[in-house]
Amino acid sequence: MKRHYSKLISELLGFFPCLAITGIRQSGKTTLLHRLPPEWRIFDLEKADDFDLISRDPDLFLRLNPQHTAIDECQLLPELFPALRVAVDAARNQSGRFVVTGSSSLTLLKSISESLAGRVAILEVAPFSLAEAYAKPASLFYDYIVEQSPLADFLSLESRLTLQEQYNFWLRGGFPDPWLRNNARYSKMWMQNYIKTYIERDIRPLFPSLNHQKYRLFIQMLSHFSGTIINYAEAARVLGVSQPTARDYFQIAHGTFLWRHIPAYEKNAGKRIVKHPKGHIRDSGLLHFMLHLHSLDDLLSHPKFGHSWEAMVIENLCRGLDSIGAAYDYFHYRTSGGAEVDLVLEGEFGLLPIEIKFGQKVAARELRGIRDFIKERKCRYGIVINNSERATIYNENLIGIPFSCLYS
């Protein structure tokens, strides 16, 4: 299935000597490597022969393979990164020489910052977006955001997906393998084994001194934290660990792409701001499996369905922006008085507040928080993602856009 990252990968390889592709395990990184042109040689550090070949003498290996060399799961060999720096500097002006992938941003990004700063482009690959799952082209929605297009341009967006298709994606999540098999029984078994694999193959090797029984309990409880404001003291009490340990657990889950940590937006605050972060499990299918929600009826009757919908929309927004190489940061916003904005994006396009609603109709009183945010911070405009049938301009600086139009 075609990924929307393909064009960006080609562009980055034209600019940089090395490209690092990060992302959660089983998100499709290895598949992207195998779609490189045929002159590329691919090595996998999870294969004993490839690991022995490269680890024996990384500098010599890269001298023998100075061009079109891709190395999968490179976080397993930290010694590779200093050797990559030497190899890149030997021909600094040549682009498109190396691609490396890794499933842990904690290890990978530390190695990159220490050895490859200024020499590498970093691309995060996530599971399928809604459009990729149904083999639809990328939407112009993300180009409109980056180009700061007028609100009238957003009115041209139309949906080519039914509500049932959207809800099916929401329930199942975006991991490629269950989508390709398209079998409910297989999907349940895959999710069950995925959690075990995550603990055994990612966490144990990377964090050998971690209390793995406690961390396994933390993962089991993570679904109940998803979509909420995180109070580390309360989480520590529930888990029976110290507050610094609880904070470390969340950091590990974020660094291995299982969890998204969303800090509070505190800049230029004229009101008392809730400074605790929010967070959610990144893939909705994995969240629903952990909550034992196996049908749409189960999901819609569950008290966390609103949190799940919000997290799924946020993830798809991030995946869309990432696929075109947009530079941005993300936050949530909440005042002590209860006013809130679900997502605040800040990037080359300025400051963009986004409110996420499950309903088809949105009452004016529900938009007070985002209206105040726009006015106080002089935002160009704000966006409300909802389930209506078509895009609607509420006023000169606020527009409602159906979730399905993010992938028209």
Dihedral over alpha carbons 74, 79, 85, 87 (to 10 degrees): -90
Question: Is the pLDDT confidence value at 159 over 90?
Answer: no
Q: Work out the average pLDDT over 363-391.
A: 93
pTM assigned to the model: 0.92
pLDDT at 75: 84
Q: What does the DSSP assignment read for 246-286?
A: HHHHHHHHHHTTSEEEE-B--TT-SS-B--S-EEEES-HHH
278-281 and 259-262 beta bridge pairing: antiparallel
Look at the block and give the residue holding tokens 């269950």. Answer: 178
Domain extent listing, the chain: 6-124, 130-407
Give SS3 for 257. Answer: coil
pLDDT at 270: 67
User: Up-side HSE of residue 198: CA atoms within 13 Å toward CB?
Assistant: 25
- Bridge partners of 345, per DSSP, are 330, 352
pLDDT at 314: 97
Second CATH level (architecture) for the domain 6-124:
3-Layer(aba) Sandwich (3.40)
**pLDDT, tens digit, for every residue of 217-250?**
999 999 999 999 999 999 999 999 999 999 999 9
**pLDDT, tens digit, for every residue of 68-126?**
999 999 988 989 999 999 999 999 889 999 999 988 766 667 777 777 888 899 999 99
**Secondary structure letter of residue 42 according to DSSP:** E
- Bridge partners of 229, per DSSP, are 278
